[in-house]
Amino acid sequence: MTHKSDVLILGGGPAGLSCARALRGLGVHNAVLLERESALGGIPRHCGHVGFGLREFGRICSGPDYAKRLADQAAGTDLRLRMTALKLEPGGLVRTTGPNGPEDFQAKAVVLAFGARETPRSARLISGSRPFGVMNTGALQQFVYLHGKCPFQRPVVIGSELVAFSTLLTLRHVGIKPLAIIEENERITAREPGTWVARLGFGVPVLTRTRLIRIIGRDKVTGIEIDRGLGSEEMECDGVILTGKFRPETALIAPSHLEIDAGTRGPSIDPYFRCSDHNYFAAGNMLRGIETAGQCWREGRAVAEMVIAELENRLPAREPDAHVTLQGPLAYVYPQRIYRDAPDHPLLFKARVSRAVRGRLSVVVDGKVVWSRRISALPERRIAWRLPNRDMRSCQQVSVEVDAA
Amino acid sequence: MSLWTDPQTPANLRPVREPIASSRVVIIGGGVVGCAIFRRLAIAGLQPILVEAAADILDGASKGNSALLHTGFDAPENSIELACVQAGYREYMAIKHKLNLPLVESGALVVAWDEEQFAKLPAIVERAHRNGVTDVMQIERDELRKREPFLSDRALGAVLIPGEHIIDPWSAPLAYAHQGLAHGGRILRRCRVTGGELDGQRWMLQTTLGDIAADVVINAAGNYGDLVEAINRESPFTITPRKGQFVVFDKPASKLLHAIILPVPTERSKGIVACRTAFGNLLVGPTAEDQQDRSRAEVDQATLERLIAKGIEMIPGLADHSVNAIYAGLRPATQFKDYQIAVDRQRRWVTVGGIRSTGLTAALGIAQMVGRDFAEAFDGVRDEEPIWTPVPNLAEDRARPYLTEAGGDVVCHCELVTRSEIEAALAGPLPAGDLGGLKRRTRCMMGRCQGFYCSAQVFALAEGRLAS
């Protein structure tokens, strides 16, 4: 038997839960949300430290508290836990397994909100042996906050994106001060690095321009080899925490019929958050890797509005008029699938550069520059801009270009 | 009267410590070869003891191979290796259903990428035919394209070996071990052999768990084969571990390939292979790098990048796929081309050394050979009615518990491993000895996230329950 509903949301993190809540507010009463874990909340569930919820709840709360508030707000929706989606098929048909064994769900609109995860050691191709004690922040946080354990005493932290400082807070929770933060670039990646390090770094040395060369240890980590530009040196430690380099969780999308964008590594979407099959929408970090929980929460709401528009047949049913192409040092731009006559809806582009760049960012439609501005951008910062839809009256070719000065 | 069958205590026996265990036969080494011999001798009613130095079986050379079931088409002619590979192949085919072992019937293609390699293809076919693999044939470029549309169009032609297949490299030896246990064998883990003496008719092996007495000792110690051999005699062979690094691509990549893609071999190694795995991934490797360290196989970024480049060169579409896992295995290479198998009846010692990458297939054949020798030597050794001990299926091409089990509670989301699968691997006659053993028995934490989502939960389930 196939369980049918108007909307099916896959993923119970900030994007999925805020979408569920917004849908109820907009009068959809038969949405179903499936979450594969045994609790709702997604990643914030195991970010035991504060730093969430200012935008959403007007106060700063801890990750688990935030996750609980999101879940409470989504109450009333048909929320099902321990449900693993296995396969996405055309027509909004989703095959799953869970406490009742295999089940099929089908919806007019399926919202994909699988989130993102950090790149593991394997995909980073890090040299050395493969002992226990090498893990991502996500795994560490589950050890610490969900199971009250810490797998090491003297780890090093690799990378300095914002999540690295979440790692520091996680370690402090169990009274552990890491030996160092190691960053291969010249400076720390997280915004306002001075503030972060001063406030949260607790005197942990930050080694910039330092490369992790090799992991040492047979059964457990006993050390690492690093290069600070002076040749290799060894550092004793008992754990390596690989932070950041988030990527969308596309395990179900890659083998499906949905188009994936090489830049974001998430599904290609149109301005209405629809994937290449209009029965599917995408929201949150699966669009492009990591942004804050607040950003995902906002996207969940925006997607809910678009789902309503789709259910009311207000969105174009045809194939998009153009696919965005990129020129210059751009890592990605989304949406990727563009319509000429976006009804009542300005085009909101989001992008990141692939390297630090000063120059001009332009949108070129059919050979004509329709919008441009000067930018000074870093790879880890989001760039966003709106394009009034009058600029898109005709469009066969849309390209986003960065001219480095 | 056979020398083997007289376990009477010699009169001049000096007082020794009480052995912690004794058996007619002790097998040193719990790799695939050791497990297969253990199974065979247990079925023969010999109640063997298998000792393994590591916390779990399959922790050495058997941990990291390319998981292929070989036909022997390219084995050295008239070699022991060829005989064992072919006997092993036949037995695997005969017992796989009873042990619930998978077989991905892929076939293999030796692909020529340039004129020089192309010129060698007829000789490969001829050798295969001489080796008795008579269905091997050369195929044209067009036929190759039809069979493997994602292969680079640089390929000039290929030799087709229909009988080469893909298996699960860990469930097979695990099943052998389980069957041996069911027939009264014993497995001792964290039991490293440190020395031994032949005292008249009996071996007394010193191990880290205590002394073990045996009428006959079988050395199946893999990468430590020459060191263990030195307990009995000056080892005629020296092991130089040959490291092979592998890259495993995520599951969607597996649709880029049907057959196992083999290179035209060189003298030194079978070369870099690209193939699917039984678990639904796509694998590229191994390299062949000699080293001295017998236990630690490191991966190396530059080499992994070369492997990926090599994979993309063969299958351009691989460029769009991400890497799930990286690993390195050590295969016990010796100065000789062939396996080093010898029986010293006088000294009650059997040597099974230098079993290279073909060992996964050959193990059952080697076990037959050793078993035959025992049957000749021992009076009244005869096979018991086999007790079949099917293992849980981990292969992607057949239904797994997440699909069949009501209440299937998925713990590892990438590899879809259920709680009950993990529970089962922590229980039974040979529970996982360490985390690696648990991963090999279930595939938990072995997928694309490498434990980002599930490692804490897996540890919580396994806490205090990893055996040995």
The per-residue DSSP string of A156-172 comes to EEE--SHHHHHHHHHHH
Q: In the structure, what pLDDT confidence band is assigned to residue A165 with cuts at 50, 70 and 90? A: confident
pLDDT of residue A328: 96
**Contact check, Cβ <8 Å, B327/A130:** yes
B108-112 and A127-128 strand pairing: unpaired
Closest C-alpha to B25, from B288, B307, B215, B272: B215
Q: Are B276 and B106 in contact (CB under 8 A)?
A: yes
Residue A153 in this model has a pLDDT that exceeds 90: yes
Q: Tell me the CATH number of domain B104-165+240-333, given options 3.40.640.10, 3.30.9.10, 3.10.20.30, 1.10.10.10.
A: 3.30.9.10
List of chain A residues whose C-beta atoms are within 8 Å of the C-beta of residue B410: 36, 82, 84, 97
Query: Which of A15-24, A333-342, B388-397, B429-438 shows the lowest mean pLDDT across its residues?
Result: A333-342
For residue B17, is pLDDT > 80?
no
For B:366-425, CB contacts with A below 8 A are 402-410, 413-414, 416
Of B237, B311, B324, give the one whose Cα is nearest residue B274. B311
- pLDDT band (50, 70, 90) for residue B366: very high
Q: pLDDT tens digits, residue range B167-183?
A: 999 999 999 999 999 99
d(CA A366, CA A277): 26
- From chain A, pick out residues whose CB is under 8 angstroms from the CB of B330: none
Task: Say yes or no to pLDDT of A173 above 50.
Answer: yes
At residue B4, does pLDDT exceed 50? no
* C-alpha–C-alpha distance, residues A106 and A92, integer Å: 5
Q: Which of B173, B175, B185 is nearest to B46 (CA)?
A: B185
Distance CA A206, CA A236 (A): 16
Alpha helix segments (H runs only) across B193-347? 225-229, 301-314
Report the relative pairing of strands A2-10 and A32-34 from DSSP bridges: parallel
Q: Which residue has the higher pLDDT, A225 or A404?
A: A225
- Residues facing residue B332 across a β-bridge: B241
Residue A159: what residue type? G
Quote the CA–CA distance of B88 and B364 in Å, as a whole number: 4
Interchain contact, B452 vs A117, CB within 8 Å: yes
CATH of domain A320-405: 2.60.40
Share of chain A above pLDDT 90, in %: 79
On whether the CB atoms of residues A224 and A215 are closer than 8 A, the answer is yes
- 3-class DSSP assignment, residue A78: strand
Taking each helix axis from N to C terminus, what angle separates B435-442 and B171-182, rounded to the nearest 10 degrees?
100
pLDDT given for residue B7 in this prediction:
44
What pLDDT, on the 0 to 100 scale, is given for residue A346?
75
How far apart, in whole angstroms, are the C-alpha atoms of residue B129 and residue B71? 11
CATH of domain B3-62+170-238+336-377: 3.50.50.60
Are B452 and A138 an interchain contact pair (Cβ–Cβ within 8 Å)? yes
CB atoms within 10 A of CB B105: 12
The radius of gyration computed from the CA coordinates of chain A, to the nearest angstrom, equals 22
Mean pLDDT value of segment A257-277: 96
B154-173: burial string, b at 16+ Cβ within 10 Å, e else: ebbbbbbbebbbbbbbbbbb
**Cβ contacts of residue A383 below 8 Å, gap of 6+?**
A350, A351, A352, A353, A361, A375, A377
**Packing angle between helix A14-25 and helix A293-311, nearest 10 degrees?**
40
Contact yes or no for B9/B3 (Cβ under 8 A): no
- Tell me if chain A has a CB within 8 Å of the CB of B464: no
* First CA to last CA distance, chain B: 40
Shortest CA gap A223–chain B (Å): 14
Q: How far is CA B445 from the centre of its chain?
A: 21
Nearest to A129 among B298, B451, B455 (CB): B298
Side-chain-facing half-sphere of B432: CA atoms under 13 Å: 27
Instruction: State the Cα angle at B455 between A285 and A72, rounded to 5°.
Output: 50
pLDDT greater than 70 at residue A344: no
CB A67 within 8 A of CB A16: no
Q: Where are the domains of chain B?
A: 3-62+170-238+336-377, 104-165+240-333, 401-462
List the one residue out of B68, B66, B104 whose CA is nearest residue B327: B66
Are B449 and A117 inside 8 Å of each other by CB? yes
Q: What is the pLDDT of residue A388?
A: 78
Label residue B440 exposed, middle or buried (CB < 10 Å: 0-12, 13-18, 19+).
Answer: buried
The CATH architecture that domain A120-244 belongs to is 3-Layer(bba) Sandwich (3.50)
Q: Do B298 and A214 touch (CB under 8 A)?
A: yes
Q: What is the mean pLDDT of residues A177-205?
A: 76
B139: exposed, middle or buried (C-beta count within 10 Å: 0-12, 13-18, 19+)? Answer: middle
Section B402-411 average pLDDT: 81
DSSP 3-state of B63: helix
Return phi, psi of residue B43, to 5°.
-60, -30
The number of residues in chain B equals 468
What the block records as the tokens of B392 is 């849980």
Binned at pLDDT 50, 70 and 90, residue B407 comes out as low
**pLDDT attached to residue B283:** 97
Residue whose structure tokens are 């040959």: B242
pLDDT digits 0-9 by tens, B263-297: 998 766 678 999 999 999 999 999 999 999 998 89
Contact B161, B128 (CB under 8 A): yes
Sheet holding A239-242, edge to edge: A134-136, A239-242, A155-158, A181-182, A206-207
Q: Where are the domains of chain A?
A: 1-118+245-315, 120-244, 320-405
- Taking the Cβ of residue A106 and every Cβ of chain B, the question of whether any pair is shorter than 8 Å is answered with no
Would you say residue A28 has pLDDT above 70? Answer: yes
Angle at A235 between CA A234 and CA A241, to 5 degrees: 125
Instruction: Cis check for the bond before B102: say yes or no (omega within 30 of 0).
Output: no
Angstroms from A136 CA to nearest CA on chain B: 6
**pLDDT (tens digit per residue) in A1-10:** 899 999 999 9
Please report where in the chains the tokens 């810490």 appear, as a residue. A150
A232 burial (CB, 10 Å; 0-12 / 13-18 / 19+) is exposed
pLDDT at B6: 44
pLDDT of residue B35: 98
Q: Which of A328, A319, A323 is nearest to A362 (CA)?
A: A328
Phi, psi angle pair for B179, to nearest 5°: -65, -40
pLDDT value of position B5: 41
Asked if A218 and A54 count as a contact pair (C-beta separation under 8 A), the reply is: no
Kindly report the length of chain A: 405
Nearest by CB to A218, from B296, B324, B325: name it. Answer: B296
Cis preceding linkage at B316, omega within 30: no
Residue B242 tokens, joined: 């040959």
Q: How confident is the model at residue B65 (pLDDT cuts 50, 70, 90)?
A: confident
Q: Is the pLDDT of residue B61 over 90?
A: yes
Distance separating alpha carbons of residues B435 and B426, to the nearest angstrom: 10
**Which of A330-344, B46-60, B357-371 is predicted least confidently?**
A330-344
Rounded Cα–Cα distance for residues A201 and A166 (Å) = 10
The predicted complex's ipTM stands at: 0.92
Calculate what percentage of chain B has a pLDDT beyond 90.
87
Query: What is the rounded average pLDDT for all residues in chain A?
Result: 92
Look at A86 and B301 and tell me if their CB atoms are within 8 Å: no
For residue B396, the distance in angstroms to the closest alpha carbon of chain A comes to 13
What pLDDT, on the 0 to 100 scale, is given for residue A189? 79
Return the SS3 of B186.
strand
The residues, any chain, with a CB within 8 Å of residue A218's CB and separated by 6 or more, are A129, A131, B295, B296
Interface contact B325, partner A, CB < 8 A: yes
Ramachandran angles phi, psi of A374, nearest 5°: -75, 140
A1-118+245-315 shares its CATH topology with A320-405: no
pLDDT of the residue at A378: 86
Q: What's the rounded Cα separation, in Å, for the pair A225 and A186? A: 19
pLDDT band at B468 (very low <50, low <70, confident <90, very high): low
Third-level CATH fold of A1-118+245-315: FAD/NAD(P)-binding domain (3.50.50)
Q: Which residues of B touch A118 (CB under 8 A)?
A: 452
Q: What is the CA radius of gyration of chain B?
A: 22
